[in-house]
Structure 1
Amino acid sequence: MDSVSLGDIAGMIAALAFAFLVFRLGSVIGKAGKILDETRVSLRSTTENVQPTLLKLTDTVSLTNEQLARVDGITTNVSAMTTNASALTSLFAATLGSPVVKVAAFTYGVRSALSASGTKSAGGRRRRRG
């Protein structure tokens, strides 16, 4: 029989080590494949759930834009009303304010003059009696 040399034993150990390495590498690749499969399933379900949410979000943004346009229109109308009210107040003050002040001043002057003349004549009568 042939004798087994030390090189044959070393070759056998190297072959077994290589076979173990291939086996471990195969199991790692298998686990990586399972992880990739789970990731693909998870991504598919996420995509299926996100698409309706994005559609609803698009609808919400559209409705919000419509409401903002309405608010902008209301703001514009309020601004125009404020400008008109300011112009009306200025017109009222210019047209009616000055004559009303003049009439009030005139009536105050007439009342003051009448009360002053009434006081002088009443005071003079008292002196004559006394």
Structure 2
Amino acid sequence: MSAGQIAALIAAGAFVLLVLLLAIPLVKLGRTLDEATIAIRKAHENADPLLTGANDTITHVNTQLERVDGITANAQAVSGNVSALSSVFTATLGSPLVKTAAFSYGVSRAIRARRKAKTGAEGKHSRLRGRNGTS
């Protein structure tokens, strides 16, 4: 064997060793891709029931929202009726009640002022008597 043949054998051996060393990561990468493919397949299979459940949930929520819309419309109608009723009450009874309350307040103030003036006048005379020393 000549030196060139020996060099060729060494180069061929090194090339085989290089191929073997590169084959190990490629095999591991192939296994990883297989596992990823299996995981994606399982996720795809499990997605259909999830989407069906989500559609059912959304349908149920829409039904409940329609009911809430009806309740809201009824509450709005009731508040409008209460507002109209309070306006009618204010127009028919509110003004006379306010006038009656104002009149009774004025009368009570006048009576208190008169009593105060009466007791104030008597109080002045009694104080004057006490200062002069005469009873």
For 1:36-51, list aligned pairs within 5 A: 36-51=33-48
For 1:5-20, list aligned pairs within 5 A: 5-20=2-17
Out of 18, 21, 24, the residue aligned to residue 21 of structure 2 is 24
Out of 63, 72, 76, the residue aligned to residue 75 of structure 1 is 72
Deviations 1:98-124 (A, max 9, x none): 34555x47x96xx99xxxxxxxxxxxx
DSSP 3-state at the match of 2:75: helix
For 1:90-129, list aligned pairs within 5 A: 90-101=87-98, 104=100
TM-score by length of 1: 0.67
CA root-mean-square deviation: 2.8
Q: Note the residue ranges of structure 2 that are not aligned, 5 or more in a row.
A: 109-135
Q: Note the residue ranges of structure 1 that are not aligned, 5 or more in a row.
A: 113-130
Q: Matched residues in 1 for 2:78 and 2:53: separation?
A: 37
Q: Matched residues in 2 for 1:52 and 1:73: separation?
A: 32
Aligned residues: 108
Q: Matched residues in 2 for 1:22 and 1:68: separation?
A: 66
Larger relative contact order (C-alpha < 8 A, sep ≥ 6)?
Answer: 2
Q: Matched residues in 2 for 1:51 and 1:99: separation?
A: 71
Letter in 2 for 1:85: V
Greater shift after overlay, 48-57 or 24-33?
24-33
Out of 49, 52, 56, the residue aligned to residue 55 of structure 1 is 52
Which residue pairs with 2:30 in the alignment? 33
Percent identical residues = 49
TM-score by length of 2: 0.65
